[in-house]
Amino acid sequence: MRFTLYAVTAVAVLSLWTSNPTFAQTSSAATAESDASKLLQSGNAQAACDRLRPLLPTNGDDLQLHALMGQCLSQTGKPDEAISHYQFILSRDPSNTRARAELANAELAAGQTNSARADYQAVLDANPPPQVRADLQRILSSLTPAGAGKEWSAQATIGMLYDSNPGAGPAGGTITAFGTPFQISSAFTKHPDWGIQAAGELDYAHFFDDNVGVTAGVAVGGIHYFKYDQFDYGAITAFAGPAFRAHIGALPFQLNTNFNVSHSWFNQRDYSTSAGAAPLFTMPINDQLVFLEQASFEYNNYDRDGTRTGPAVFGVTSLQWFWNMSGGYIQPKLLLGHEDARNNINTDDQVGGSIAVFQPIGHGFSVYVEPGIRNVAYAQNNPAFASTRNDTIYSTSASLIYDLGYHDAQLALTYAWTFGDSNQRLYTYHRHQGSLQLTAPF
């Protein structure tokens, strides 16, 4: 059975766009179809097929019945039978992009690569929004014959930002160091300011066959504050590496093994340089559930404070669950990390987590919310504070996103709240950020 990673999740991604699939449903079959839908969600596809099959002779015009039959047949290893059900839906509703994406998945699984390529291209030609377009382009790049499977994509973002605390200045005006109270310099205390954000990314992918390819890209971004420009920040990252597609048992996966180099500036001066690897492992478990593992192995060199220089290892494990037909998903994430430094005062272990929630709300709008918490425990007692530093960072980000309907551009209104709670008062801070960003793909 031939699969690609993105083909398996195409329907879940496309549902972000096709939030109201036009599947007709007869009342006489509603109960059975509801039962079958629950069986599919629980992973019992064979039982769903058994529940639905007796309905076909008397409910042949029920598009929802054909859609569910297609899903259960695909999940039980019978994509060639699923194809006819999706073709029936499209014969009655040619503009149904959800059914066409399902058809392309079934065709690919059945080895009908040319037909799958044509149907994926048809969905792409329907001008989907950026997040859908990117996944469809990756699918098509994986299906293009060797020597021609190339893909260039780009994205640019610009926006306005309000920041209540650009330098993450401490919440209090005085600290106690070496047993003596010190007044914090006004240059490092909390100052609100407005600024401009800008970012851009260029990506390239080339697959030699169905299993092996390469990816590369460059990303750049930064913030300029109008008043307190000493907190201006910028960074550039370049990455490249091989990509692999294969199966673990019946489950397909993709592994991107990018090697990267990053450089950042702070207040128009060199701040840090990092080099290492950032592999990404993605495995769709079914049409609703995707497992992701993002790791980072880097050596960080700090220009301002050499005592912080050293290696760092981080991993983010997440499970993305597309929980309803409208394309909404919930994604819990677990972060684990360790940073070594030349001075053990700056060596730390980190553990944290967050829960991302995305939900389309109609009329081109969608919402995204992600609350999180992270603990940073340092390794050695700091004599200045007579304690070992321990920080707990609470954060919440919320966005209202609007698809402009013009060249896949989107507007995002975002609010972010951060509270750094440290046992050393110098590192305790509050921060509120609000931004309005315009993003356009190319």
pLDDT tens sequence across 44-65:
889 989 888 888 888 888 888 8
Instruction: Name residues of the chain where pLDDT drops below 70.
Output: 1-28, 128-132, 134, 138, 141-150, 175, 177-181, 183, 185-188, 287, 324-326
Q: CB 327: neighbour CB atoms within 10 A?
A: 22
In b/e form, how buried is each residue of 218-232, taking b as 16+ CB within 10 angstroms?
Answer: bbebbbebeebeebb
Separation CA 147–CA 434 (nearest Å): 45
- What is the model's pLDDT at position 186? 66
Q: Which helix (H) or strand (E) holds 80?
A: helix 79-92
Domains 5-144 and 152-441 share a fold: no
- What is the model's pLDDT at position 299? 97
Using alpha carbons only, what angle is made at residue 352 by residues 323 and 370, rounded to the nearest 5 degrees? 40
Q: CB 435: neighbour CB atoms within 10 A?
A: 18
* 152-441 to CATH, choices 1.25.40.10, 1.10.8.350, 2.70.98.60, 2.40.160.40: 2.40.160.40
pLDDT tens digit sequence for 126-179: 776 666 676 777 677 666 554 444 578 899 999 999 999 998 889 777 767 666
pLDDT tens digit sequence for 369-397: 999 999 999 999 988 888 999 999 999 99
- What is the model's pLDDT at position 140? 73
* 5-144 to CATH, choices 2.60.40.1930, 3.40.50.300, 1.25.40.10, 1.10.1200.120: 1.25.40.10
Separation CA 428–CA 424 (nearest Å): 7
**How far is CA 424 from each of CA 181, 191, 381, rounded to the nearest angstrom?**
13, 20, 11
SS3 64: helix
- 39 neighbors 45 (Cβ within 8 angstroms): yes
- Domain extents for the chain? 5-144, 152-441
- What is the model's pLDDT at position 171? 78
